[in-house]
Amino acid sequence: MEGQAAMNISCQRCNKSKATVHITDTVPEKRERHLCEDCAEQEGVIIKQKHHTTNEILQQFIKHKVGAAIGLELESISCPQCGTTLKDFQTNGQLGCPHDYVVFRDALMPLIERAHEGATHHVGKVPPTAEPVVRKQTGLVRLRRELQEAVEQENYERAARVRDEIRALESQ
């Protein structure tokens, strides 16, 4: 938190909000100014970062990328299981069935990556009934990432432990 002195100054431009941006101009003359973020942005002193929810990002993304994809051969494809098309997804923001993730994978992957901070692989829980090969695969993805992290952090003890786990899982 900021000091009390700074906390109590109100914006010199609008006189309403609390000044959180403190500037010392040197040209044309030396002077101090105290502005709120909105006024600072209007004066071009700072650029406020716009925040969008994942849903907004998703909607935008569906419009542009999936929209572009629809112009190509994907337009004619509908899921053989549920009949959903990419156009339906574009309209509703929801898919029709689990198989859509197979049929439309190429169109969906960039969107999935974008919505999940670049992630493309699940590393969490696997259904207890899932076949062993799935459990193995998911486990390996997670462990390899842990190995990379451990190496980056120069935690070689942990890296060695993770490497052994990877070998054990690979030989299963």
Partner 1 sequence: MNLEKLSNSTGEWLRGEGPMSDVVISSRIRLARNLADHPFLMAASSSERTEIYRAIVQQISAGAAGADSMIFDLLEADSVEQNLLVERHLISRQHAAGEGSRGVSVSADERRAIMINEEDHLRIQSLRSGMDLESLGRDVNEIDDALAAKLAFAFDRQLGYLTACPTNLGTGIRVSVMLHLPALRLTKEIERVARAARDMHLAVRGLYGEGTEAIGDFYQVSNQTTLGKTEDAIIRTFSEKIIPKVVEYERTARDTLARQHSARLDDKIWRAYGLLSNARRISSNETHALLSPIRMGIRMGRFDRFDLKTLNEVFLFTQPAHLQKMLGQTLDEDERGIARADYIRKRIG
Q: Which residues bind partner 1 (CB under 8 A)?
A: 1, 4, 7, 17-18, 20, 37, 49, 51, 53-55, 58, 81-84, 88, 92-98, 101-102, 108, 111-112, 115-130, 133-134, 137-138, 142
CB of 71 to partner 1, least distance (A): 21
* Closer of 35 and 84 to partner 1 (Cβ): 84
Q: Tokens 């006189």 belong to which residue? A: 15
**144/22 Cα distance (integer angstroms):** 46
Peptide bond just before 110 cis, omega within 30 deg: no
**23/32 Cα distance (integer angstroms):** 6
CB of 146 to partner 1, least distance (A): 10
CB of 104 to partner 1, least distance (A): 10
CB of 75 to partner 1, least distance (A): 18
Residues 13, 14, 19, 23, Cα dihedral to 10°: -10
* Closer of 12 and 25 to partner 1 (Cβ): 12
CB of 43 to partner 1, least distance (A): 19
8 Å CB contact between 3 and 31: no
Sign of CA dihedral 25, 26, 29, 31: positive
* Closer of 126 and 169 to partner 1 (Cβ): 126
* Closer of 1 and 47 to partner 1 (Cβ): 1
* Closer of 77 and 126 to partner 1 (Cβ): 126
Strands (E) located in 47-146: none
